[in-house]
Amino acid sequence: MRNHKHLSLVLLSTMLVMAGCAGTAESPADTVLINGRFYTVDNEQSWAEAVAIEEGVIVYVGSMEGIESYRGEKTEVIDLEGKFAMPAFVDSHMHPAANAYSTLFTASLTGLYSHEDYIAKIREFAEANPDKSGIMGSGFERSLYDAIGPRKEWLDEIDSTRPIAIVSGDIHSMWVNSKTLELLGITKDTPDPAGGVIQRDPVTGEPTGLLQEYAAFSAAWELMPLATKEDYKTALLWLQEWLNAKGITTAHDAWMEFDPNYYRAYDELAKEGKLTVRYRGSWYIDPDLDYLGEIEYGIELAEKYNHPHFQVHSFKFLADAVLEEETALLLEPYAHRPDYYGSKLWTDEALEAAFTRVDRAGYQIHVHVIGDGAAKYTTKALEQAQEKNGARDARHSLAHIQLIRPEDVNKMGELGIIAHMSPYWMVMDEHYRQFYLPYLGAERANNTYPHRDLFDAGVNVTLASDWPTSEPDPMTAIYNGIVRASLGGTQLPPAGQCVSLEQMLAAITINGAYANFLEDEIGSIEVGKRADIVVLSEDLFNIDAEEIPGVEVEMTFFEGKRVH
């Protein structure tokens, strides 16, 4: 069932044969990078001065003296002039195609930070697209509004004849107008769906225009113009320029749609040789649908799509949602709601059955986990699946992990469960504390994101932007993981959860490669691996931590080709 793993081994064998015959007078390298300071991220964390590349594969890593035999008349020689270089970056959990499409083809609010700007942008898009049957948008900040959220009347003033639906930046709520509510048949008598919330006026009980969680707003997408395959292809080509500029050459789409336009866009670009980002992905499984049937369909599709630049051999589950919507699942009640623990999106029995089927088929499991309650029942279900099917090199994973009990951290290490962490969210400053105090209280708010604990437990920890929740900016993420404070800000306890520079660089390279069964191909600068390399403006080991966010990516190589 692990056809992609077998393919990796075949490719590796071919690469090693190539490496053995490279560098001779008859077969010089295509490209050599010289006078660099290469941090290889190999097992010894060794350093090198020069690298030779032939047909996209690294054939030499070593000294300046040793590189000379790899030069030929047609060899491209790139002098790094002492610059710092390392393996290119892996973003292990993001939402590429869907949100690149939203940015280009809908009312994108990304980069706007006020209600007035939101309204102006949505109005501008609606007026510029009079023929669209509905107005879609994304990127509003839920925290800008009160508990009831943004109101339908504000969108009604823009257009009351067409449905308008704006997804929040964290993708866990949707702001809609009255027309959308009408077309969905949502009234004050409509009950909240399982796993979702219809926000209501506390006096009248009328829906206010905020639908919380996928269960409440998924049907609204059916009212909107559908994205075409060409739309997705255009969006992915736009996105990869941005990702390459950030040094990212591998990414995991953590919510693959079963829409043929969606996955075929990736596949066609891969077969056309147009991708400069290598994608892996996870099929999203909805607990409210025929989830076992969806898993079977996902397995069928996984067998069809095996291009080196696009494969989907994993399945995505949501165990809970987010604290900001009060839908994260906690083991102790929310601080302001003594009898409320959040949303449990799967029953124990259903989750165990789903995990067992995926695991038995030889595929990965990728789970969104925010609260410690979600971490508890998810790790238990993964353990039960392993007991039923037997232990194997499964590399199942949990993403985000804002709260988790120590015993479940240890269980992750014991079971080989991977942690996809987002240091973008780990700024432990007073603003962070105050924001989460209403949900968690002081003690829990002071002890979120146990980053160091996961490393110490032997968990393979990766780096994930969860874009569009956070803009993929590896330098900022590396800084946050080391310091856990905003740039120039004051770090508050628990400083013990800070990790080292070496750990952060591993997280964004070899650990991300391992999480995607790619450690034999990328993630370190070693002979036989694909030449995915970044060159930075500063040596990360020779500057103060406060300078890291300002470091720029000067060059990015994807399989030996310079793409930035």
The pLDDT of residue 496 is 79
Measured distance CA(52)–CA(545) in Å, rounded: 31
Buried b (16+ CB within 10 A) or exposed e, 108-135: bbeebeeeeebbebbbebbeebeeeebb
The pLDDT of residue 495 is 62
pLDDT at 493 over 80: no
Measured distance CA(440)–CA(419) in Å, rounded: 22
Same domain, 138 and 260: no
Same domain, 30 and 130: no
The pLDDT of residue 488 is 67
**Measured CA distances, 85 to 12, 61, 77, 496, 556 (Å):** 23, 12, 15, 29, 10
pLDDT at 16 over 50: no
Please, which pLDDT band fits residue 8 given cuts at 50, 70 and 90? very low
Mean pLDDT lowest among 172-186, 196-210, 211-225, 347-361: 211-225
Mean pLDDT lowest among 3-12, 127-136, 406-415, 532-541: 3-12
Share of the chain above pLDDT 70, in %: 94
The pLDDT of residue 562 is 98
Measured distance CA(251)–CA(254) in Å, rounded: 9
Same domain, 304 and 168: no
Average of per-residue pLDDT values in the chain: 92
| Residue recorded with tokens 């789409």 | 253
Same domain, 413 and 451: yes
The pLDDT of residue 111 is 83
Amino acid letter, residue 116? E
Q: Say which CATH number the domain at 176 has.
A: 3.10.310.70
Measured distance CA(379)–CA(118) in Å, rounded: 40
Measured distance CA(316)–CA(368) in Å, rounded: 8
From 223, 257, 288, the end of a domain falls on 223
- What does the pLDDT average to over 509-524? 98
- What does the pLDDT average to over 540-556? 97
Please, which pLDDT band fits residue 494 given cuts at 50, 70 and 90? low
How many residues are given for the chain?
564
- What does the pLDDT average to over 11-25? 39
Helix, strand, coil percentages for the chain (3-state, nearest 5): 40, 20, 40
pLDDT per residue as tens digits for the range 53-67:
999 999 999 999 999
- What does the pLDDT average to over 30-39? 98
Same domain, 292 and 193: no
Same domain, 530 and 502: no
pLDDT at 17 over 50: no
pLDDT per residue as tens digits for the range 395-406:
999 999 999 999
pLDDT at 312 over 70: yes
End-to-end CA distance of the chain: 36
- What does the pLDDT average to over 95-115? 92
Same domain, 285 and 148: no
- Asked if 108 and 166 count as a contact pair (C-beta separation under 8 A), the reply is no
Mean pLDDT lowest among 33-42, 127-136, 411-420: 127-136
- What does the pLDDT average to over 502-518? 98
Measured distance CA(117)–CA(404) in Å, rounded: 37
pLDDT at 198 over 80: yes
Please, which pLDDT band fits residue 413 given cuts at 50, 70 and 90? very high
The pLDDT of residue 81 is 98
The pLDDT of residue 21 is 38
The pLDDT of residue 431 is 77
Give the range of the structural domain holding residue 105, as residue numbers without chain letter. Answer: 96-223
Q: Say which CATH number the domain at 456 has.
A: 3.20.20.140
- What does the pLDDT average to over 528-545? 98
Please, which pLDDT band fits residue 72 given cuts at 50, 70 and 90? very high
Same domain, 332 and 429: yes
Measured distance CA(58)–CA(273) in Å, rounded: 20
pLDDT at 3 over 60: no
How many Å separate Cα 194 from the centre of its chain? 26
Mean pLDDT lowest among 71-85, 105-119, 402-416: 105-119
Q: Considering the entire predicted model, what is its pTM?
A: 0.89
- What does the pLDDT average to over 365-384? 98
- Asked if 270 and 310 count as a contact pair (C-beta separation under 8 A), the reply is yes
The pLDDT of residue 22 is 39
- In 3D space, the residue among 365, 394, 391, 361 whose CA is nearest the CA of residue 378 turns out to be 365
Please, which pLDDT band fits residue 324 given cuts at 50, 70 and 90? confident
Same domain, 355 and 413: yes
- What does the pLDDT average to over 244-250? 98
The pLDDT of residue 169 is 81
Please, which pLDDT band fits residue 9 given cuts at 50, 70 and 90? very low
Helix orientation angle between 291-304 and 348-360, rounded to the nearest 10 degrees:
20
Q: Say which CATH number the domain at 562 has.
A: 2.30.40.10
pLDDT at 475 over 80: yes
- Render 147-201 in DSSP notation, one character per residue: TT-S-HHHHHTT-SSS-EEEEETTSSEEEE-HHHHHHHT--TTPPPPTT-EEEE-
Same domain, 358 and 255: yes
Same domain, 351 and 479: yes
- What does the pLDDT average to over 444-448? 92
Number of domains the chain is built from:
3
In eight-state DSSP terms, residue 503 is H
Same domain, 247 and 352: yes
From 223, 243, 268, the end of a domain falls on 223
